[in-house]
Structure 1
Amino acid sequence: MIRLNNDTPTSVLQDVKIGDMVTDTFSKTGLVEEIDIEDDGLSKIYKFTLVTGRNIEIKR
């Protein structure tokens, strides 16, 4: 299981694949169904959608 939070290194965030088991260490745990990475010029926003319908967002 991969722990996703603000302390997670960028290299780990980029290696997450669809089907990986992830958690935000609080209430969101599940398999990754979709991954969106947005770059707004200042930072990247990693949005992981889980099969449970919940989202985990990390801003770097």
Structure 2
Amino acid sequence: MIRLNSETPSSVLQEVKKGDLVTDTFSKTGLVESIETSDDGLYRIYTFHLVTGRTIIIKR
């Protein structure tokens, strides 16, 4: 299981792939269904959509 939070290194965030089991250490745990990566000029934003319907968003 991979923990996704604001302290997770960027190298780990980039290695997460579809089907990995992830958690945000609070209430969101599940398999990754899809991943979106965007850049707003200040932060790189990783959005992980889980098969449970929940979403984990990490800004780095």
Common fold, TM-score beyond 0.5? yes
TM-score by length of 2: 0.98
Matches within 5 A, 1:23-38: 23-38=23-38
RMSD of Structure 2 on Structure 1 (CA)? 0.4
Percent identity of equivalent pairs: 73
| Cα distance, 1:43 vs structure 2 | 1.0
Query: Does 2:11 match 1:3?
Result: no
Gaps of 5+ in 1: none
State the alpha-carbon separation in 2 of the partners of residues 24 and 43 from structure 1.
19
| Cα distance, 1:42 vs structure 2 | 1.2
Gaps of 5+ in 2: none
Structure 1 segments of 4+ aligned residues over 6 angstroms from their partners? none
In the alignment, which residue of structure 2 is the partner of 1:15?
15
TM-score by length of 1: 0.98
Match of 2:45, SS state, is strand
Amino acid at match of 1:42: L
Match of 2:52, SS state, is coil
| Cα distance, 1:41 vs structure 2 | 1.2
Query: Does 2:50 match 1:50?
Result: yes
The number of equivalent residue pairs is 60
